[in-house]
Amino acid sequence: MTPLFFSRKRKQIDASPSTESILVVGLGNPGREYRDSRHNVGFMVVDQLAQELSVRMTRVQSRAITGSTSLEDKKLILAKPQTYMNLSGQSVASLVHFYKIPVENLLVINDDIDLPFGVLRLRPGGGSAGQKGMQSIIERLGTQQFARLRVGVGRPPGQKQSADYVLQSFSPAERDELAVILKEAAEAVRVFSLHGIDKAMTQFNGPVFEE
């Protein structure tokens, strides 16, 4: 009789509703030389959230470093693609397919030179704004209709090229404020995951520091 009991039990578990999954992807470049660069602020936000939620980012899948946890009634999956920025779409599309993530449950975090340093901007969709990692994701998914959190890193000074600027580390003055920005961005991800993009936009769009 014992096997029948476990068989019924297993069938009952399988019939229960599945937990809704949220996929949060931070964009950046792998490698120590890029770790503290402006282009890696997406990685930094994911690392901040992983630290706050005690998520171990140790699994490698779909060419990304991933980790997961429960966030109230949701399954939260964190990912840092290891494909280099310009090919981020390869990893993201694979993760979306593997976890069967609806596009409305995907949030991509990236740096943005068109936003001043210390400004956060959430949007439910839109173009790449010239960000090559975002463009790669749009091309691979075949849609622009997924949420994104843009973290302002400011324009390059003088005649410095944007490509060189984003691969440089934050200045000492910026690093003093970066920890606060990352915590605010991580909280924005929590609100998005639990309450949706509209509430997150209302609460977090704008400068982190009052002027």
Active-site option among 39, 63, 80, 150: 39
* Sequence letter at residue 210: E
CB atoms within 10 A of CB 129: 15
CA distance 102 to 154: 32
CA distance 29 to 31: 7
CA distance 65 to 63: 7
CA distance 92 to 139: 11
Q: Is position 97 annotated as part of the catalytic site?
A: no
What would the two tokens of residue 167 be?
A: 């691969």
**Which residues are catalytically annotated?**
39
